Structure 1
Amino acid sequence: MHDFLCGLTGEIVTPFHPIYNKARQGYNKAIQKYPIIINYCSTKVDVSNAVCWAKRHCIPIRIRSGGHNYEGYSNGNCVLVIDISRLNDMYIDTDSNLLHVESGVTNQQVYGLVSSFGYPFPGGTCPSVGVSGYCLGGGWGLSCRNYGLGCDSLTEIELIDYEGNLIHANGRVNEDLFWALRGAGGGNFGIVVAMTFQLPQKVDFVTLIEIDYLNVSEIEQEQFLSVWQNWLSKADDRMTLLGRVYQSERDGRAMLLRGIFYGEPEEANLILTDFLSLPNAVYNIEAVTFLEAVTIIGSVYPPFERFQSVSGFVIQELSEEEIKSLVQIIQEPPNGSVFAGISLYALGGKVSDVGTNDTAFFYRNAKYMIWLETVWEKSEFAQVNREWIAKNYQLIRCLTIGSYVNFPYDKLEHYLEEYFGFHVNQLKRIKTKYDPCNTFSYPQGIFAESEEESIDCVPYDASPKDEGIEQPIDLNYRGFRYVTKK
């Protein structure tokens, strides 16, 4: 075994180690994978050595930071997991307002640093999510309408390529790679080891928004969705909200609203009048520091869950009948579900100010995202919950287009087109240029255009190819007119 591992550096965990079962586990415990080796890398050299070792031994690679991939694609059976969570150095250049981080840092770690200097940051809501995976998939967060997606603040990326070399990508060097990494970068083109972000202006406080509605009726949940659409049609760019209608063992039939407003609480109250006028509204709208806001919002996330979910982008207002059909989904949760809900993620604002083709994130013109989720605690209920998601996804896909790559769903038929829209062919060309052997692959990943080049590089556990699709599917096929922003 020692000879086999020769060449790997950093901490090495194999199935014979006592911590293996804990080390292999990701956030979604409904997904169980058994890698050959987990390599905890503490330096960029460790990462480079791991890539070269995997190529030499023809063992597939998976890349893991926070371990939050919903379908467990940062792990796999009979693979080498290159864990970069220990690459967590970071510093701020206050003269240029630049944040330099290694790619293993989490939302919580970044928030702690930037807040100590007085900055906010357009990161995610869950504190333990890795910032690299979050941003490389686009990066929705509760500051996005004010500052853009997480990827929109990126100014440079350092990446270990398929030959183990360290390369840079920015607006002047490897521009095509830099374009692809902002929205389609997670696990596809190499291993990102460092990132540089342009920080927003410093803020003294933000307004935290917390509104809960317990013991509500189905009709009141429909009213909530109507108010949501009305608010979003004229929303202030300084406010980003997450809405949710759900049923849970703890709260019964309920709704909630969480958000951050870069302005005064009094003004936020006026903007939220229609939400506050709904029955059973219990709310807290107050001025707090940015760190306090993201800490309070992030405090509800458990250390792990068992769940499955699907997502889609809404590009036009839903009718009353469509809203009614959405709400109806969660009135009959599957057996064993302790939580079934539909979440609404506001887009627009600075997100849509960036052109559709300026980055690989395609759905710039969407109004918001819908995310349907069910959570269960006992493994015996896994199958019935997954069947419930599969059944109700048929309605979601009729009302939306596409799917958010950071909310992957393994049953998508044309997953590349769902995640990346009309950008698929360009992404395949960039993949072929920077990873011609498909050294970096996973289920639902982007593959180099020539399959022949990848045969010797990934001899087993290869991800399914996107066979039979030469052109992107028509995004009008669900009855909506999609207008590409120029």
Structure 2
Amino acid sequence: MDRRDFLGVAALAPLALSAPPPNWARLRSRLAGTLVLPGDSGYPAARRVYNPAFDRVKPGGVAYCANAADVSACLAFARANGVPVTSRSGGHSYAGWSTGSGLVIDVSRMSSVAYADGRAVVGAGAKLIDVYDRLSRHGVSIPAGSCPTVGIAGLTLGGGIGVVSRKYGLTCDVLTSVRVVTADGRLLTCDARHHEGLYWSCRGGGGGNFGVAVSFTFRTHEAPGLTVFFLRWPWSRARAALREWQAWGPSAPDELWSSLHLGRSAGGLDVELVGTYAGRRSALDRLLAPLVARIGRPSSRSVRRASHLDAMKIMGGCASMSVSQCRRMPRATFSAKSHLAYRRLPADGVRALVDGVARGGRHSVLLDAMGGAIGRVGPAATAFPHRAAIFSAQYYTEGTNRRWLRGIHTEMSRYFGDHGYVNYIDPDLRNWRSAYYGDNAARLAEVKATYDPDRLFRLPHGV
């Protein structure tokens, strides 16, 4: 809070003391969905998000909205009563900003997935596993992420880096229109010809900034089977694996996506390469051969052909589960940070990253190849600016101690710079505007001023 905000709050303090409390019962009566309040039997479950680290947060109410009219009613309630408002789809915000102390607008009940004529219309509350499952029945899919319980809304609004993005682009790249309830309660359909600025912002500008998205229309692609692969090396090959992969992965054919994992767990240190290939195993073997020759023989290797849906389940860590079981993946306590790499690490950068992972603790670094179709879109064509990045870096640690994260992030900033991915939102970042949005930040601010001039939607890293 700066001095101007402080003085404004201080001036309003006497009015706030005399204002009547919000009439939650009245809001409940206006909803077709369900409003869950403290004291209700469903409240302990309603206030939980994916990461148990945020179980301490206790919203004033959680509204499970059934439709756009419910969202509009919630926003009117928030405006009239000065109640902070937060929107929630899958509840996976790395910083816990899918919840808050005021009203949580939960869109998870708006989860329909419909397909016709090459287009998919997806409710904002749909989880990725359900999107993949329902579209697979039509032999199509969209490029999206791997975690089965992530909500489609947050993923899309932040850009949407996924396991087939090198061939088909980001999730936001196949978004043809989005329906958004804005701060004033209007339901707007935004596309390339209507509310173009808001449509542009919804493709990489981050969730929770401009309104509450209630549905998305995507252009689909045919979804034949994929070849999935897992290769492991002993830790002694970690530097070689990182050095060679960063040259190989981002420059591979578009059909090949890969991720290099460097991790330290109770089982020790680990190097693993995972990926998907939109082609046959024989062709993949030829593409892997030069990489393996440079790194050395892997200690284990698994390559298999799978249906598109099964490949997404494999990448999501629920290969042996049913779709309904994937939907109920257990929660996990973690902390995370990110970088986006615009150039390869030099030898001392490779050494710094590998040595950083080797330090004590339970943590990992995931490097996801970019390039391909991602890089063939201009940095200003959508709000996602990092089109020239060659890979993303995610730093994860088990639990809530961020000491290792802060140390390795600071050290690797010497090599990666200050670029970050808004969907891996980081509460520690001070230069978050430039890190997330680069040169697109100014236009995003203009859109914010147009559609939310009174800043009803406020995040710590809010546009």
Query: Normalising by structure 2, what TM-score?
Result: 0.89
Name 1:428's counterpart in structure 2.
445
CA RMSD of aligned residues (A): 1.6
Deviates more, 1:8-17 or 1:363-372: 8-17
Equivalence map 1:331-346=2 (5 Å): 331-334=358-361, 339-346=362-369
SS in 1 for 2:204: helix
Q: Which of these residues, 249, 255, 261, is aligned with residue 277 of structure 2?
A: 261
SS in 2 for 1:184: coil
Name 1:327's counterpart in structure 2.
354
SS in 2 for 1:272: helix
Name 1:474's counterpart in structure 2.
none
Q: CA deviation at 1:368?
A: 0.4
Name 1:349's counterpart in structure 2.
372
SS in 2 for 1:358: coil
Q: CA deviation at 1:120?
A: 2.9
Name 2:228's counterpart in structure 1.
208
Q: CA deviation at 1:212?
A: 3.1
Name 1:412's counterpart in structure 2.
429
Name 1:186's counterpart in structure 2.
207
Name 1:242's counterpart in structure 2.
259
**Alignment partner of 1:441 is 2:462:** no
Name 1:311's counterpart in structure 2.
338
Give the share of equivalent positions with the same residue, in percent.
Answer: 30
Q: Which of these residues, 161, 168, 182, is aligned with residue 147 of structure 1?
A: 168
Q: CA deviation at 1:292?
A: 0.9
Q: Which of these residues, 106, 131, 146, is aligned with residue 110 of structure 1?
A: 131
Deviates more, 1:17-26 or 1:416-425: 17-26
- Per residue, is there more helix in 1 or in 2? 2
SS in 1 for 2:393: strand
Amino acid at match of 2:381: D
Aligned length, in residue pairs: 427
Instruction: Work out the CA distance in 1 between the residues paired with 2:237 and 2:369.
Output: 20
The answer to whether the 8 A contact 2:153-2:213 is kept is: yes
SS in 2 for 1:242: strand
**Alignment partner of 1:6 is 2:26:** yes
**1:202-226 C-alpha deviation (Å, 9 max, x unpaired):** 243211122234xx23x41111101
Equivalence map 1:165-176=2 (5 Å): 165-176=186-197
SS in 2 for 1:158: strand
Amino acid at match of 2:132: Y
**1:177-202 C-alpha deviation (Å, 9 max, x unpaired):** 111110014110000001000011x2
The answer to whether the 8 A contact 2:136-2:223 is kept is: no
Give unmatched runs, 5+ long, in structure 1: 377-381, 447-486
The answer to whether the 8 A contact 2:110-2:124 is kept is: yes
Name 1:288's counterpart in structure 2.
306
SS in 2 for 1:7: helix
Q: CA deviation at 1:62?
A: 0.4
Query: Normalising by structure 1, what TM-score?
Result: 0.85
Give unmatched runs, 5+ long, in structure 2: 1-20, 319-325
SS in 2 for 1:225: helix
Instruction: Work out the CA distance in 1 between the residues paired with 2:225 and 2:392.
Output: 27
Instruction: Work out the CA distance in 2 between the residues paired with 1:289 and 1:343.
Output: 25
* CA separation of 1:166 and 1:33: change in aligned 2, threshold 3 A: same
The answer to whether the 8 A contact 2:166-2:373 is kept is: yes
The answer to whether the 8 A contact 2:50-2:331 is kept is: yes
Instruction: Work out the CA distance in 2 between the residues paired with 1:14 and 1:60.
Output: 15
SS in 2 for 1:330: helix
Q: Which of these residues, 67, 71, 76, is aligned with residue 95 of structure 2?
A: 71
Name 1:453's counterpart in structure 2.
none
Instruction: Work out the CA distance in 1 between the residues paired with 2:317 and 2:408.
Output: 29
Deviates more, 1:350-359 or 1:45-54: 45-54
Amino acid at match of 1:169: C
Instruction: Work out the CA distance in 2 between the residues paired with 1:189 and 1:51.
Output: 12
Q: CA deviation at 1:284?
A: 1.9
**Alignment partner of 1:82 is 2:105:** yes
Instruction: Work out the CA distance in 1 between the residues paired with 2:23 and 2:215.
Output: 31
The answer to whether the 8 A contact 1:311-1:396 is kept is: no
**1:151-193 C-alpha deviation (Å, 9 max, x unpaired):** 0000000000111110011000011111111001411000000
The answer to whether the 8 A contact 2:202-2:383 is kept is: yes
**Alignment partner of 1:22 is 2:6:** no
Deviates more, 1:396-405 or 1:301-310: 301-310
Name 1:138's counterpart in structure 2.
159
